[in-house]
Every structure is written in C-alpha cells, then in structure tokens.
Amino acid sequence: MDTRLETFQQDVLDSSFKTPVVIDFWAVWCQPCRMLGPVLEKLEKEANGQWKLVKVNADEEPELGQYFQIRSIPAVKMIRDGKIVDEFIGALPEVEVRKWLEKHLPNESKNQLEMAKSMLQSGNSAKARKMLENTVKQEPNNAEARVLLATLLMSDDVDKAAELVKVIDDENPFGNKANAIRTLHRLTHLNETAGEPKEDWKLYHQGITAFKKGKYAEAFETWIELVSRNRQLDDDGARKACVALFTVLDSEHELTQKYHRRFTSALY
C-alpha cells in the first residue's frame, strides 16, 4: 500500500505494534527502485500477513524523507513497535532481501528453537530433543538446532550426532562446536596404535568409554591425567578431547567450571 504524511501514523507506526512494517522509499525515475519494488511486493504476498509493505514516494512526500533522513533511494526500513529495527539502501537481490527479513520476523521454527533452549536450561532434555528434531526437520539449514540436537544425542548415538553436524562448515558461527563433535566422534572409532604404552592407551580408552556412556566427569578425570603424562599419544589426543568436550558443553557448564582449571594446570 502507498502512504502519505497524513496517514503515516495509522499506516505505519500504529500498524507496527500489530505486525512488522517495511517502508520502501522510492521514486518513479529511480531504476533500482523499479527492480526492488516487485521483489518486496512478491515477498509480502508470500509472507501471508507476517509483515506489511508500505511504499513512500520520496518526491511526493519530502517531509517523510526528511524525517527518516533519506539520502539515497531505494531506502528500506523495518518498523516494529514504532521503532526502526533495521534498514538497507539499494536494490539488493531477492535472496539477500529474504535473509534481511528472516532476521527479524517471527516464525514457528525460531520460536520452537527458543523453547527448546529454555527446556534445556530447565533440565527437560526429552522435550527439548523433540522440539529440536522438529526444528531440524522444518529448517534443515538451521545450524544452531543441529548442534544442540547433536549435543543431546552424543551419549546415545554419537554417529547420528556427527551426521547432524556434517553439513556445518568452519565458516559457520557454529562451526567450532561442529568440529568439536566431529573430534569426539573420531575417538569413538579409534584403534590402538602400536608402540604406545599400553597403560596410557588403556587410560585413554577408559575416558572414551566413559564419554560414550555420557559419564563426562569420568572422561575428564582420565583424559586430564593422561594430558599430564603423555601428550604424544594419538597426537595430543587427550588434550584435544578435553578441549572438544569443553567446547560442546560451553564455558558455563558445571563440568567446565569444575575441570577447566585442572586441565590448564596439567598442560604446564
């Protein structure tokens, strides 16, 4: 819809308390505006009421342009609860506009993920797991949901956990955790190497067995002991195992708080 200064309060500000409003500042002579306009209109139609598009002709409504400090068009702003929450200038490709919208628009997967994280904090891992499984099914590219679900599955099915994070690369914000899960998964399929002290291998595998059973405290105990006496075994494997498990559990986890100082001391 088009808006004017006289109806702006009702069309944009008041409406933004009910649903996000995207303002498109444009002009007839602006070629990039003609490219971006149809993209916004198409995405609004697809959104089925999730957000509202309001168009402002910058030439006909200079007061609105001045109020929003418009220096170049097309200029797009998202208004929610009467405030600007994001904006961009220029005719972005459709895929980039979609990403821009998705950052701020509520959706079922996003809400479900937040509920799952809340369940995890309260200790209800069974419900969290179901929610995360639904989220991954609905949104296969959701790296955070994949990592959280993989973390829950590690003690039951480490192979499935590794499969979940297989698609997450190093550049992803959750790539560090994905790599940590892959490191721990490798340990569960490790064979003894000839020439290494058998007692050290026995201790190493004791920690791996504890990890596979979800006994992470016991795994830390054995791996940290091994760090202090044999850094060469499995190419510093015990240290890498500890780092990976700390990464998966997060810095605020009680086991990280308990064992990280001991781990650091064992390194030196």
Average pLDDT (135-149) is 89
- Give 7 or 161, the one with higher predicted confidence: 161
Strand partners, 84: 79
5-102 homologous superfamily: Glutaredoxin (3.40.30.10)
- Indicate where the chain has its CATH 3.40.30.10 domain(s): 5-102
Q: How confident is the model at residue 49 (pLDDT cuts 50, 70, 90)?
A: confident
Q: How confident is the model at residue 108 (pLDDT cuts 50, 70, 90)?
A: low
Q: Contact at 8 Å (CB) between 84 and 77?
A: yes
Which tens digit of pLDDT belongs to each residue from 150-201?
999 998 899 999 999 999 988 888 999 999 999 999 999 988 665 678 899 9
> What single letter denotes the amino acid at residue 266?
A
Residue-wise over 182-206: b if at least 16 C-beta within 10 A, else e?
Answer: bbbbbbeeeeeeeeeeeebbebbeb
Q: How confident is the model at residue 220 (pLDDT cuts 50, 70, 90)?
A: very high
Percent of the chain at pLDDT > 90 equals 60
Q: Residue 40's closest CA among 10, 71, 78?
A: 78
Pair of tokens at residue 70: 């418009």
Q: What is the 3-state secondary structure (H, E, C) of the chain?
A: CECCHHHHHHHHHHHHHCCCEEEEEECCCCHHHHHHHHHHHHHHHHHCCCCEEEEEECCCCHHHHHHCCCCCCCEEEEEECCEEEEEEECCCCHHHHHHHHHCCCCCHHHHHHHHHHHHHHCCCHHHHHHHHHHHHHHCCCCHHHHHHHHHHHCCCCHHHHHHHCCCCCCCCCCHHHHHHHHHHHHHCCCCCCCCCCHHHHHHHHHHHHHHHCCCHHHHHHHHHHHHHHCCCCCCCHHHHHHHHHHHHHCCCCHHHHHHHHHHHHHHC
Question: Strand pairing of 21-26 and 52-57?
Answer: parallel
Residue 51 has pLDDT above 80, yes or no: yes
pLDDT confidence of residue 106: 66
pLDDT confidence of residue 109: 67
Q: What is the mean pLDDT of the chain?
A: 90
Class of domain 108-186: mainly alpha
What pTM was estimated for this model as a whole? 0.65
Which residues have a catalytic role annotated?
Answer: 30, 33
Q: Worst-scoring range by mean pLDDT, 33-47, 97-111, 254-268?
A: 97-111
Question: Strand pairing of 75-80 and 83-89?
Answer: antiparallel
- Indicate where the chain has its CATH 1.25.40.10 domain(s): 108-186
Question: Cα 62 to the chain's mean position, in Å?
Answer: 40
Residue 48 has pLDDT above 90, yes or no: no
